Amino acid sequence: MTLRSRFPSYVDAVTTPVGRVLARTRITPNWLTTLGIVLTAAAAVSVALASPVLGGAVLILGGLMDTFDGAVARATGRSTPFGGFYDSVSDRISDGLILGGMAFWLRDEPRLFTLAVVALVGAEVTSYVRAKAEAIDLDCSVGILERAERAILLIIALLFHRWLLEPVLWILAVGSTVTVVQRVHHVWCQIDRDIPEELLALAVLDRAWSRAFKKAARRFYGERNFDPALDEHSANHRNDEPAQAADPGTEVPADRRHATRTDRSSERDRVEVIDAAEVEDEVLASVPDGPSGLRARLVPGRRSGTGRPRGPRP
């Protein structure tokens, strides 16, 4: 994010009064933008000629022109689409000029020269990615190192080049590369895409690791893609639970398996009682019931109703 995005009230508190003062001179925003390009070109020439301190001082003036052109445009009501376009183009030219001058100055030192070239390429690609994203109506105002931060770091590197040149070049090279990756990923997250079902299945689990996994997946795929897909997967999972319970091939929970075994044991005991009663009837039927009442003596409680109760008939 830019300094204006992070601290809008502080930036406006400084630039708005200056913009009103400059607006009284009848200077136009485009004049300030053009003057900023000229001053940045002069700073680049100074750096290329091995005068980094002078180049840093001139670069401060060029950066101020680029800062106050927008304030003048707001103060005079001259904010136009062409003004925004021209300001964006001037920023790309300024970045290329100053970083190109530094690369020429450091051409005899391979490590520093490489860092300057990487920073130059990263700065240009950072702006290009945002321009292409906005061309397809996508937001791309993210990144750890945008133009305002780059300008401040370049000024520091030039003014204090004896001590801070190489560390700042490392920050510019690495920061610009990371910013490009951030912006590409940010655009990737805004485009509709399918998320694997296996990943969503892991994300719905209520475990400590799954919550961390879900958070990481949301950041990787973007909330715009991940949250609706996760909600749909959770809804489908809840709808599938009754069907799985009715399907005999699905796994049954432990408590339900215990209840099923108990029911089956009771049914088996009831069937065994019924079978024993049927065998007894068959035995009694084979015994002749003569005058002596042999059948009655074999089962004395059968007629009086005091014998062993029989199981229920099927």
Q: 10 Å Cβ neighbour count for 238?
A: 10
- 95 and 38 within one domain: yes
pLDDT at residue 301 tops 80: no
Question: What 3-state class would DSSP assign to 215?
Answer: helix
Please report whether residue 176 resides in a domain.
yes
Q: Compare 197 and 294 and report the one with higher pLDDT.
A: 197
Q: Which two tokens stand for residue 132?
A: 């292409």
Q: Which of 4-18, 20-34, 74-88 has the weakest average pLDDT?
A: 4-18
Please report whether residue 47 resides in a domain.
yes
- Residue 159 CB burial class (10 angstroms; 0-12, 13-18, ≥19): middle
- 159 and 15 within one domain: yes
Q: Please tell me the predicted confidence (pLDDT) of residue 314.
A: 45
Q: How far apart are CA 173 and CA 168, in angstroms?
A: 9
Q: How far apart are CA 250 and CA 27, in angstroms?
A: 79
**Catalytic sites, residue numbers:** 91
Counting Cα atoms < 13 Å in the Cβ hemisphere of 113 gives 8
What pTM was estimated for this model as a whole?
Answer: 0.68
- 218 and 125 within one domain: no
Helices (H), 24-146: 29-48, 52-76, 81-105, 110-135
Q: Compare 126 and 193 and report the one with higher pLDDT.
A: 126
pLDDT in tens, 50-93: 999 999 999 999 998 888 888 888 888 878 888 888 988 999 99
Structural domain total, the chain? 3
Q: Please tell me the predicted confidence (pLDDT) of residue 211.
A: 75
Q: Please tell me the predicted confidence (pLDDT) of residue 119.
A: 95
DSSP state of 2: -
- Residue after which a domain boundary falls, among 171, 190, 209: 190
Q: How far apart are CA 122 and CA 89, in angstroms?
A: 16
Q: 10 Å Cβ neighbour count for 122?
A: 23
Q: Please tell me the predicted confidence (pLDDT) of residue 296.
A: 53
- 88 and 18 within one domain: yes
pLDDT in tens, 232-279: 777 777 766 555 555 555 554 544 444 444 444 555 555 454 455 555
Q: Please tell me the predicted confidence (pLDDT) of residue 61.
A: 93
Please report whether residue 163 resides in a domain.
yes
Q: Please tell me the predicted confidence (pLDDT) of residue 70.
A: 84
Please report whether residue 60 resides in a domain.
yes
Q: Please tell me the predicted confidence (pLDDT) of residue 242.
A: 57
Q: Please tell me the predicted confidence (pLDDT) of residue 260.
A: 45
Q: Please tell me the predicted confidence (pLDDT) of residue 303.
A: 45
DSSP state of 252: P
Cα three-residue angle 227-231-232, rounded to 5 degrees:
120
- 137 and 27 within one domain: yes
CA torsion sign, 6 to 9 to 14 to 18?
A: positive
- 57 neighbors 92 (Cβ within 8 angstroms): no
pLDDT in tens, 96-142: 999 999 999 999 999 999 999 999 999 999 999 998 998 888 888 88
Q: Please tell me the predicted confidence (pLDDT) of residue 280.
A: 58
CA torsion sign, 265 to 268 to 272 to 274?
A: positive
- 131 and 203 within one domain: no
Q: Please tell me the predicted confidence (pLDDT) of residue 203.
A: 73
Residue type, 159: L
Q: Please tell me the predicted confidence (pLDDT) of residue 258.
A: 44
Q: How far apart are CA 224 and CA 192, in angstroms?
A: 8
- 168 and 121 within one domain: yes
Question: What 3-state class would DSSP assign to 81?
Answer: helix
pLDDT at residue 143 tops 80: yes
Q: How does the average pLDDT of the chain come out, rounded?
A: 78
Q: Please tell me the predicted confidence (pLDDT) of residue 126.
A: 92
Q: Please tell me the predicted confidence (pLDDT) of residue 140.
A: 85
Provide CB contacts within 8 A for 20, sequence distance 6+. 71, 75
Q: Compare 7 and 271 and report the one with higher pLDDT.
A: 7
- 204 and 165 within one domain: no
State the residue range of the domain holding 32.
3-190
Please report whether residue 28 resides in a domain.
yes
pLDDT band at 19 (very low <50, low <70, confident <90, very high): confident
Cα three-residue angle 271-273-278, rounded to 5 degrees:
95
Length of the chain: 314
- 162 neighbors 195 (Cβ within 8 angstroms): no
- Full DSSP string of 171-202: HHHHHHHHHHHHHHHHHHHHS-----HHHHHH
Provide CB contacts within 8 A for 72, sequence distance 6+. 19, 22, 23, 27, 28, 29, 32, 78
Share of residues in the chain with pLDDT > 90 (%): 34
- 102 and 72 within one domain: yes
Q: Please tell me the predicted confidence (pLDDT) of residue 39.
A: 95
